[in-house]
Structure 1
Amino acid sequence: MNKLEDIILKNCPALAPLPTGAEAKLNRLNGVKAVLFDVYGTLFASGSGDVGTAAATDTAEALTQSLVVAGFEGELEQAGLIGKDMLKSEILEWHRAGHKAGADFPEVEITKVWKKMIDSLRHTQTLSTAETDFDQIRRLGLEYECRVNPVFPMPGCIETLRTLKERKLPLGIVSNAQYYTPLLFSAFFKQTVEEIGFDPECCVWSFKELKAKPSADLFPKAARYLEKNHGIQLSETVYVGNDMLNDIYTASQAGCKTILFAGDQRSLRLREDDERCKNLKPDAVITSLAQLPELV
């Protein structure tokens, strides 16, 4: 286990899902040959219900604490106060640039955002001007994420994944994510994403594509490798997620069957006011990951 995984375990205590009151619709889905998953709010309970960069989660105190433990020096309380606004501003600027470059839903590469914020704090002499290495930036980003958006495996997560692996169903991920997202699996389960049973080429992480769900551009990459590596079409694939827009709508538009995970009040997003979701129904609804294997 490396230092980043240690940070996850130290800062992410047990987080039980909150009941949603949703009714499970355990419809058996015929012809499913592969399963794709969302991560935040589906495989992992999340304090905000999404990856922190996509959620309105920021506090000066969390940033100050993160700067301290990551080894930065200077006026750290002041850096926390002004840095959180710099961080938000830089993410918005990144999104504007992404839109201008043609991305429908741009995603940030958060280490570059953190580096720019640190450079700005040094320019204003709020932080000391010592050179920052890449590992220190990665530690800072993860320390902050764990404070504003702690996560913990959903009940039944690893057991469900192992059951699907034993049945030799190809597994993949299409998720809004950052560099630390794949580390959640090795931190909590002591196995890499691939060792757990996911095909790495069928794992599409938003930060690598610089596009986030509900972008229509993420599922085609998963489709390409499902076809190339397994001879499976998206129409023979089910996608499991907790958000009716980002997950169910986007996956259904790509041609997947869909299962809504309605197991945690923090992350369940029904999007009832969104026109794209008003007449949209998933193929099944589960309130526990343990219900998934019996449907496929």
Structure 2
Amino acid sequence: PAGLAPRGRLRPAVRAVLFDLYGTLWASAAGDLDRRNPSPAPAPPGLPELLRRYGCPLSPQELAGALAAAIRRDHEGRRAEGADFPEVRIERLWAELLGLEPPQARAFAVEHEALVNPVWPMPGLRSALRSLRGQGLLLGILSNAQFYTPLLFECFLGAGARELGFREELVLYSCELGLAKPSPRLFEIARERLAAAGVPAARVLMVGNDALRDLAPARAAGFQTALFAGDARSLRGAEQAGEASAVLTDLRQLLRLLKRGRLQP
């Protein structure tokens, strides 16, 4: 817990819930994908051996520096094309840096991610999703992500996002759209798709751990917002908690908030 008390009031009643992933549904040792330390020291156990197996002559720190430079170049090129917050396809960068074919680059990316950013489900995730599925709500995801991110549902919960109740057209991953949060365009796309499903923006709740990247653009899109403060390591913007419609310290509090329309400390 991050020292904040659960509270909130939702008006009007919510009909759809969008979730961030890293720091919200998944506890992450390194944090969101683009906020982590690009050169962790000391290197995670197993990383030097991983590089050896893939024939990489660089040290973990040298490779991290090369990756950071490749990301900067990719971002600069995308910004020149008009993207406000560009997102990379990490498997393409690994293929370029290590001279790997696409299948090997994807395999390396998965192994590398598991070492540098181990994640696990937030407490109560499985039961919270099960309860939400039974309420007739539309569930979606709006998250910075890479191709391996959806695999976490199968890994930890034994089912894909769709089987867990997430609506396919409401699952928005940054790597697939080429834009990362807090790009307003991501939230506009979500708003457009929700409107097509008959849900106005005012009846949408965005749940995330980052007040700047998750909640501020969600409010600008007309959504209600809930700051997830269940993990002090990943909470961002606690000082702005008062701007959120609600604060959650456990995912299981969400069902009570949605059913009653309010949550008291």
How far, CA to CA, are the matches of 2:142 and 2:54 in structure 1? 34
How far, CA to CA, are the matches of 1:59 and 1:50 in structure 2? 15
1:174 aligns with 2:174: no
Structure 1 segments unaligned to the other structure (5+ residues): 1-18, 120-131
SS in 1 for 2:167: strand
Letter of the 2:208 counterpart:
G
| Paired position in structure 1 for 2:157 | 189
Q: Deviations over 1:224-253 (max 9, x none)?
A: 22222x311221100000001001101101
1:233 aligns with 2:190: no
- TM-score (norm. length: structure 2): 0.90
Q: 1:170 to 1:160 in 2, by over 3 A?
A: same
| Paired position in structure 1 for 2:228 | 261
How far, CA to CA, are the matches of 2:10 and 2:60 in structure 1? 50
Shift of 1:82: 2.8
| Paired position in structure 1 for 2:257 | 295
Alignment of 1:133-282 (within 5 A): 133-228=101-196, 230-270=197-237, 272=239, 281-282=243-244
| Paired position in structure 1 for 2:51 | 67
Contact kept? 2:92, 2:102, Cα under 8 Å: no
How far, CA to CA, are the matches of 1:28 and 1:65 in structure 2? 50
Alignment of 1:101-140 (within 5 A): 101-119=81-99, 132-140=100-108
1:35 aligns with 2:17: yes
Aligned length: 255
How far, CA to CA, are the matches of 2:62 and 2:206 in structure 1? 40
How far, CA to CA, are the matches of 2:62 and 2:30 in structure 1? 22
How far, CA to CA, are the matches of 2:179 and 2:208 in structure 1? 18
Letter of the 2:36 counterpart:
A
- Aligned-residue RMSD, C-alpha: 1.9
How far, CA to CA, are the matches of 1:188 and 1:86 in structure 2? 31
Percent identity over the alignment is 40
Q: Counting helix residues as a fraction of each chain, which structure ranks higher? A: 1
Contact kept? 1:29, 1:295, Cα under 8 Å: no
Q: 1:72 to 1:140 in 2, by over 3 A?
A: same
| Paired position in structure 1 for 2:261 | none
Contact kept? 2:12, 2:202, Cα under 8 Å: no
- TM-score (norm. length: structure 1): 0.81
Q: Deviations over 1:50-82 (max 9, x none)?
A: 12x4422434845533334xx42364xx35353
